[in-house]
Amino acid sequence: MDRIISADNSRDFQETILTNALHILLEPIYETVPRMRYQMLLNELDYASSDQDNTCRRVVIRGLFDSIDHLTTENYRCGFCDVCVPDLKFKLEKAAIPLQDAQVDEIAEQLPDFLSEFDKKPLQELLDRTIENAAVPGLLARVSNRLEGDSTNLAALYLAGALSRKRPGREILAFEYLKSAFNEGIKQGLSPDNLLLFYEEAVQVNAEKAFTWLTEVGGYWDNQEGLQFLIQEAAQRFGIDSKQHRILLLVSQVRNFNDVGDDFIKLKPKIETLKQGFERLS
């Protein structure tokens, strides 16, 4: 009898180990593979809608398939696609060869290093150079392509969000990239200062929605110091009469009141003792 129970226990134990092991193995797959598939679809949609901001189809295609050290600027016109020639009456026999731009090519060359780790300042500087040199669609195509195989790369998510914001009609997509970056940043243990980089980009698209990221219960800013930062941010961003500012002030007041209440509870036994002492004296 003991042996049967022991065999059953052993089988249960093995099943538990197997279930846990499968869970550990499959969880990352369920988490990353659907995101990678969605990213592929998003990239196809981005290519299909590149006519919306009059970007030559080849700028996006070359962003994906060109050599790693070259990017095509948004001023390029191939003369051989439906955006460049909407009536499809092509006058060229083949697509125009893009001009080489040393400064733009430097961005392309540096990109792999910038994506290898999340470093706020160099990323912001790369973003500024990309905008100045009119390389937004090309670099966006390249970083979104990176996300197809590396969907949790924070630097790629940040650049995809910030660059999408610069292309007309892609505000919702930009916001979603930045939201993914913010949530993924929390999972990867990014500092609050770095998380604010995603927020600061996202508030340019939808300030009210982005602000709710910071006010999550149990989040980085759900403490006394964080609350003071949020009150200041709400006053600057939305004004002192805004709903956000008034609610946060109220939260601060309630917390202060609770602290006073807690102090009172701690003092209560001592007050009781004193009271009894005075009663005895009288």
User: What is the total count of residues that contact Zn ion (CB under 5 A)?
Assistant: 4
Site for Zn ion in 177-196 (CB under 5 A): none
With respect to Zn ion, which residue has the nearer C-beta, 9 or 75? 75
Task: Supply the minimum distance, in Å, between the C-beta of residue 143 and Zn ion.
Answer: 21
With respect to Zn ion, which residue has the nearer C-beta, 75 or 103? 75
Task: Supply the minimum distance, in Å, between the C-beta of residue 159 and Zn ion.
Answer: 24
The whole-angstrom distance between residue 160's C-alpha and the CA centroid of its chain comes to: 9
Among 81, 135, 163, 174, binds Zn ion (CB under 5 A): 81
Task: Supply the minimum distance, in Å, between the C-beta of residue 57 and Zn ion.
Answer: 5
User: How far is CA 19 from each of CA 14, 22, 28, 223, rounded to the nearest angstrom?
Assistant: 9, 5, 15, 38
Among 42, 56, 163, 205, binds Zn ion (CB under 5 A): 56
User: How far is CA 220 from each of CA 16, 120, 191, 230, 249, rounded to the nearest angstrom?
Assistant: 35, 19, 9, 11, 18
User: How far is CA 101 from each of CA 54, 69, 70, 130, 157, rounded to the nearest angstrom?
Assistant: 21, 11, 9, 12, 26
186: left (phi over 0), alpha (psi -120 to 50) or beta: alpha
Task: Supply the minimum distance, in Å, between the C-beta of residue 206 and Zn ion.
Answer: 32
Tell whether residue 61 is a contact of Zn ion (CB under 5 A).
no
Q: How far apart are CA 281 and CA 142, in angstroms?
A: 84
Identify whether the C-beta of residue 225 lies closer than 8 Å to the C-beta of residue 233. no
With respect to Zn ion, which residue has the nearer C-beta, 78 or 160? 78
Among 60, 61, 84, 234, binds Zn ion (CB under 5 A): 84
Task: Supply the minimum distance, in Å, between the C-beta of residue 102 and Zn ion.
Answer: 23
Q: Report the interface residues with Zn ion, using CB under 5 A.
A: 56, 78, 81, 84
